[in-house]
Amino acid sequence: MHLDKLFSRIVGDDDGGKLFTPEEYEEYKRRVLPLRMKNRLYVSFGVPGGIDCKQIGPETQCFCEHRYKQHQTEFEVIPSERPIALRCKVSGCRCSSYNYIPQPGGAMVRCKCKHLPQDHSEAAGHLCKKCKVCSGFHSPYTCGCGRPSFEHRTLVETKQERLARGQPVGKDVPYAAMGGLTGFTSLLDGYLAMQVLNAGNSCFFLFFYLKLEVDAFFFFLFLSFFFFFLQLVHQ
């Protein structure tokens, strides 16, 4: 990985746009990285009790149109209140917590009032700024999991909470704002990731079955030669 990219992934926007000196960078790593790996928060989007339909990464856009990495993604002490609020750090933004909004095919889903997310307030409630009949953003879009978008929730959880749900947590990494990304399959939508994993399991069992078949073939071939050899010896 290029050193500039490595620096960016570790520091994020914490340098305020001014490059750290080598001494400042080492001090930053000494002070921040242990807490970052200890208190990592995992962020996903899905139906409560169902699969995680989307794992949130540093560049994943919020309802407020800012990226996940532009929100408060780290705490020295994890809040005891649930849900954990990850406010937007962009000056002037009224977003009180990161809230994922689906973008099928790269296009934003619309509210039932026919207006786009950016036509609604980023503040809690997400009231429409273009009409008075909308009581808050509510999209009828159907997710790939088969459930409507409005049944989904953005979930922020600790490592222990994620493990309790039986979800992968990946390795401890020093990178900022990793959210729910734990591996290559977490880059896929939930139902696609499940298909990949199921296909992988099928390939494994097919390989294992074929290996047993091949091993059995050579085993019986060995027995045949062994008994043939015994017959030659006793003649």
Task: Give me the pLDDT at residue 226, please.
Answer: 56
Provide the mean pLDDT of the chain. 85
Residues 123 and 59 in one domain: yes
Q: Check residue 19 and give its pLDDT.
A: 83
Assess if residue 165 is contained within a domain: yes
Are 164 and 213 members of one domain? no
Question: Considering the entire predicted model, what is its pTM?
Answer: 0.78
C-beta separation of 95 from 137 below 8 A: no
Quick one: 104 and 165 in the same domain? yes
Could you tell me the sign of the dihedral formed by the alpha carbons of 122, 125, 126, 131, in that order? negative
- List, edge to edge, every strand of the sheet that includes 52-55: 52-55, 42-46, 153-157
At which residue do the structure tokens 């939508």 appear?
A: 189
Same domain, 225 and 121: no
Among the residue ranges 8-17, 61-70, 167-176, the one predicted with the least confidence is 8-17
Q: For the segment 204-219, what is each residue's pLDDT rounded down to a tens digit?
A: 444 544 555 555 555 5
Domain assignment present for residue 2? The answer is: no
Q: Verify that 145 and 196 share a domain, yes or no.
A: no
Distances (CA, A) of 188 to 14, 55, 191: 28, 8, 8
Domain count, the chain: 2
φ, ψ for residue 202 (rounded to 5)?
A: -65, -45
Residues 157 and 70 reside in one and the same domain: yes
What are 88's two structure tokens?
A: 């937007």
Range of the domain at 205: 188-235
* Residues 150 and 199 occupy one common structural domain: no
Any domain includes 22: no
119 and 194 part of one domain: no
pLDDT score for 216 = 56
CA–CA dist 194, 190 (Å, integer): 6
Tokens coding 40: 């990592």
With 60 as the cut, is the pLDDT of residue 181 above it? yes
Residues 110 and 160 in one domain: yes
* Co-location of 53 and 130 in the same domain: yes
For residue 232, name the pLDDT band (cuts at 50, 70, 90): low
Q: In this structure, are 135 and 213 located in the same domain?
A: no
